[in-house]
Amino acid sequence: MLLTEQVDNMLPEGDPKRTGEEVRSQDPGEDPSVTLFREYLRLKTVQPEPNYDAAVRFLERIAAELGLGCQKVEVSPGRVVTILSWQGTDPRLRSILLNSHTDVVPVFEKHWTHGPFEAFKDSQGNIYARGAQDMKCVSIQYIEAIRRLKAEGKRFPRTVHMTFVPDEEIGGHMGMELFVKRPEFQALNVGFALDEGLANPTDAFTVFYGERCPWWIKVKCEGNPGHGSRFIENTAAEKLHRVITSLLQFRASEKQRLKCDEHLTLGDVTSLNLTMLSGGVSFNLVPPELAAAFDIRIPPTVNLKAFEEKLTAWCREAGEGVTYEFFQKFMDQTMTCTEDSDPWWKAFTGTCRDMHMTLKCEIFPAATDSRFIRAAGHPALGFSPMNRTPVLLHDHNEYLNERVFLRGIEIYTRLIPSLASVPPLPAEG
C-alpha cells in the first residue's frame, strides 16, 4: 500500500503549500463544512491516475478528528477502500452503510471557466470543481452530518460505516466489485446502504431503487477482401452495415417510446449507442474484418435472456462470420423494495416526508457501485440531496451551490438517526 506521496500534490500547481488546517482557516467567514468540502475537491483524484494516497490521508485525518474507527482495505494493488466506523449501541443489529467513491472523471480544462481543481466559489455561492456533484459533496455531507450528531452527544443502536471506494468512475471492477466479496465487507454486517444519486433541477429530490444493467459488446464482421475499385461480394462492411442498422433501429424505437410516454424515465428504457468503429488498413483495400462497439444499458424489467437472443438474431441475419463478444455483462437485476411495509424504505421516506421533501423514485440510468451492493444481497438507495440544481456530473463547469450543499448535511443529519434506529428486524432476533 503506497501512502507516501506529499500533500503538496493535492493542490493545483501554483497554489501555496499549506496544511489541511491552514486550508480550513483561509476564509473565516465561510461555513467550516463548506471549507472542508472545497479542500476535498482540491484533491486530484482524477482518472486515469488518481492520487488515492492523498484521499486516504485526508480521510485518516477526519477519522482522528471525529474519533471514528478507520480501516484500510487494499482490494487490489494501489486500490484502497477506507472505512470510517461509528459504533452503535447494539452490535447484534445490522449496520448502515454510507458509500461514496473518491475518484472523479477526467476534465477538458479549456472548457472550464475556473480551474477544475481550484474549488472556486463565485458570488452566488456556486462551487466549481470536478466532483462537486459526483460525488465528493455526498462524502463530506456524510462526514459533517456525523460530526454534528456526535457533537450533540447522540448515539444510535446500529453501527454506521462510511466507505470511500476507488475506481467507481471506471466501472468499480477494481474497487467495490472486489470489496463486496472480501471478509472485511462481510464483517461490516450491512443491513442497508445509501450511495450516490443525481441532482434534480426541480424542487423534488430523486431517489434510485435500481439500475440498468450495462452491457458492452463488440460486434466483429468477417467478409471477402479485395481491391477497393471492385464490387466485392459479402464484404465485412455490408454485414456491419446490417448489424448497425438493426441495432440503431431498435435504439430509435426505444427513444420514441421514452418520448411518447410521460410516465417513463431514461432508466425505464434500453439505451443503445455505437461508441467505436475499427478495421481497415488502406484506402484501396477492402478489409477482411470490421468491428463496432456498443454501449447498451438495460432496465431491470427487461428479460436479459430474451434480449441476448435478439442480439444473436440481429448478428445471424447480417450474414456468416458475424459474431459478438462481451466486454461487460452485468446480469444482476435486483431492485430495492419501495413498499411502505419495508422498514428501511419506511424510515427513509418517513424522514423525508417530515422534512417536507418531495421524492421522485426512478431506476438509475447509468451505473453506480449500488449494483454491487444489491447483488451482494443488501438493499441500497441512490440518493444525492441536490434539488434545484442542474445535472452536471461529468460535464464542463460542474458546480454545486453551497446552500444546497449545506441543506444536504441537514438532510443526512435527520436520515442517519432514523436509519440507524430502525427497530430489530425478525432476522436479527
Give the active site residue among 103, 169, 211, 398.
103
Distances (CA, A) of 80 to 54, 166, 361: 12, 7, 32
CA-wise closest residue to 197 among 71, 99, 278 = 99
H helices of 165-303, where?
A: 176-179, 183-186, 236-260
Kindly give, in sequence order, each residue whose CB lies less than 8 Å from that of residue 73, ignoring residues fewer than 6 positions away: 80, 81, 83, 179, 182, 184
Q: What is the SS3 assignment for 390?
A: coil
Grid cell, residue 272, equals 443503445
Distances (CA, A) of 372 to 50, 73, 179, 197: 22, 17, 9, 15
Grid cell, residue 405, equals 450543499
Distances (CA, A) of 25 to 16, 29, 123, 429: 14, 9, 19, 48
Distances (CA, A) of 263 to 38, 271, 302, 360: 38, 17, 17, 12
- Residue 170 corresponds to which amino acid? I
Q: Does the active-site annotation cover 332?
A: no
E-strand ranges in 247-357 read 271-279, 285-286, 289-298, 322-329
Beta partners for residue 360, in sequence order:
206
Grid cell, residue 145, equals 452530518
Q: Does the active-site annotation cover 103?
A: yes
Grid cell, residue 52, equals 488515492
Give the active site residue among 168, 177, 222, 369.
168
User: CB of 195 within 8 A of CB of 99?
Assistant: yes
Grid cell, residue 178, equals 472486489
- State the catalytic residues: 103, 168
